[in-house]
Amino acid sequence: MKLPDPTPVTDLIDAFRRSKAMFTAVSMGVFDILAAGPADLDTLAHRLKAQPPALARLLDACAGLGFLRKQDGKYENTALADTYLTKDSLHTLAGYIKYSDSVLYPMWQHLDDAVREGTHRWRQTFDFEGPIFSHFFRTDEAMRTFMRGMHGFGLLSSPAVVEAFDLSGFRRIVDLGGGTGHLVIAACERYMALRGAVFDLPRVMPIAREELSQSPAKSRIELLEGDFFTDDLPVADLYAVCRILHDWSEDKIETLLGRVHAALPEGGALLVVERLLDDDKTGPPNATMQSLNMLVCTEGRERNFAEYEALLRKAGFRKVEMRRTGKPVDAVIAWK
């Protein structure tokens, strides 16, 4: 009997090693130092306070992963590393990588307990009790790391999301829990007559202000402080919730959708931005893995289109459509 190809198994045995090598190089600042130009091993070891032979193994591993080039005794960043792994790049994913390293990596060690008990792992991992996002925002630095990480992912997806449907008929978009504003920025940059607002907690506003200042659409975008569960929602004919619904329990989602529906004018709409599971929920892999991540970290989960449609229709929306974007998140729109 011919045995199945073991590659899917052996690749996954090795996968966490590749992730951790990248996490460690980002957290140590390897790519940030090399953003200034090539450097030899001794220089890097001195600046990183690392043992040269051990550091060489990490650097060589990163070269093998395509993040570094090694030539004439020196290491330098590839374009991939300069774009996504350095903290000062406009398209950086370093914030989410650091969050993955310091928060997700230890929490996922308790995935078995999360599956047995059906609850997140904050208390087990960090001895932390309280609302889940209180941990994300426990310090200004932790909040900035998390928000910058989410911004990096937003830059990958938001332009495709705002192109998924024709939004030219709307006058004002308000992104509820909009974070750094990447979705509203993308929408207002694409639709020149559209005005927008980011609605989020006060502590998020300074980071959003930094990102907004770089957009040519900044004069058409407001930053508004508030909590979408308790405060009056700003006036809009298009609301957006980007990677928000997957965080929460069913009853909290129903509460939020009910508030949005009540606030919308007739003909208004809600744009839902999430990773959509396939109909049978066995794929795509990025969505199934994210659903496990929601189990470990939140009280929510990922859903397929039928489940989102049911939630939206229950809240009173009359027409619901979906688009796959080919990016890390997909788009659903629902009209009142």
Which of 135, 182, 246, 261 does the annotation list as catalytic?
246
The bridge status of strand 221-225 relative to strand 68-71 is unpaired
With beta carbons less than 8 A apart as the criterion, state whether 145 and 98 touch.
yes
DSSP codes joined into one string, 245-291: GGGS-HHHHHHHHHHHHHHSPTT-EEEEEEPEEPTTS---HHHHHHH
Q: Phi/psi of residue 198, each to 5°?
A: -100, 125
State how far the Cα of 28 lies from the Cα of 54, in Å rounded to an integer.
13
With beta carbons less than 8 A apart as the criterion, state whether 245 and 270 touch.
no
User: Structure tokens of 71?
Assistant: 């030539």
Query: Helices 305-314 and 250-263 meet at what angle, rounded to 10?
Result: 60
110 is catalytic: no
With beta carbons less than 8 A apart as the criterion, state whether 314 and 306 touch.
no
Burial (CB count within 10 angstroms: exposed 0-12, middle 13-18, buried 19+), residue 20:
middle
Provide CB contacts within 8 A for 34, sequence distance 6+: 44, 68, 75, 76, 77, 81
Provide the annotated active-site residues: 246
